[in-house]
Amino acid sequence: MRISHALCVLRDDIRAIFRNDPAARNLAEVLLYPGLHAIILHRFAHALYRRKVPFIPRLISQISRFLTGIEIHPGARIGRGFFIDHGMGVVIGETAEIGDWVMLYQGVTLGGTGKQTGKRHPTVEDEVVIGVGAIVLGAITIGRGARIGGGAVVVKDVPPHSTAVGVPARIVARRDPITGVSRRVEQLPDPEGEMLRSLHDKVLELEARLIELEAVSHVHRKDFHFKHNELPEQLWQTLLDESASVEEEYNQGAGI
């Protein structure tokens, strides 16, 4: 029964690779993935760790780290369908708990914040995606279906089906788990948009001043003028259209 369970877990780990990595074309290639090697070695080390076998689990962990560049403490609890994409530099601490169908990118750290004992590493619930270089610290919980942006530093709980980005990480969107539709909850700074708004306002101001000068000088060349506000509105509409598409891509998790 235990062997059959282990084979079922291995099957799900392989399925997770096919489901999340478009570069996975066949089983032979997937068997070369360092993330798969790391999780297989970890599951063996964790089984020995739970039986309180001394030294050997840690030795297996260090061998895995040497071969794959992925460091997983033997005490970490990891569910099925776990996928580490590329994987170099990933660190998972001793008391970390990871649910089913979780995906990590390279450079992710699930670490502690000090030398305290007991539970000191994150709990990552099912179907979470953590982006490149993200750092999750302390005994916090990343809710089911959450997404952590690349390079984020997370030190507080993240609600389920939320997107967190930044340093320190903040919740910027929430996703309906049924429809998959995202809704922004925070507007991030947009320096390029602010610059274009300023240019838009300045063009309108200069246009108004030019009309006043022409009225005083009694010289008016209609062919030198666009229809009132025509050019700025065209530019502004283009900005709005592009911003809407970029925002929609971001809400759907682009770049995470």
Per-residue pLDDT tens digits for 95-110: 999 999 999 999 999 9
Whether the model clears a pTM of 0.75, i.e. scores above it, the answer is no
Distance separating alpha carbons of residues 165 and 183, to the nearest angstrom: 15
Q: How far is CA 29 from CA 18, 23, 32, 40, 86, in A?
A: 11, 9, 5, 16, 13
Average pLDDT over residues 29-44: 92
DSSP string, 180-195: --EEE-SPPP-HHHHH
- Contact of 44 with 60, CB cutoff 8 Å: yes
Q: What is the pLDDT of residues 140-153, one digit of tens each?
A: 999 999 999 889 99
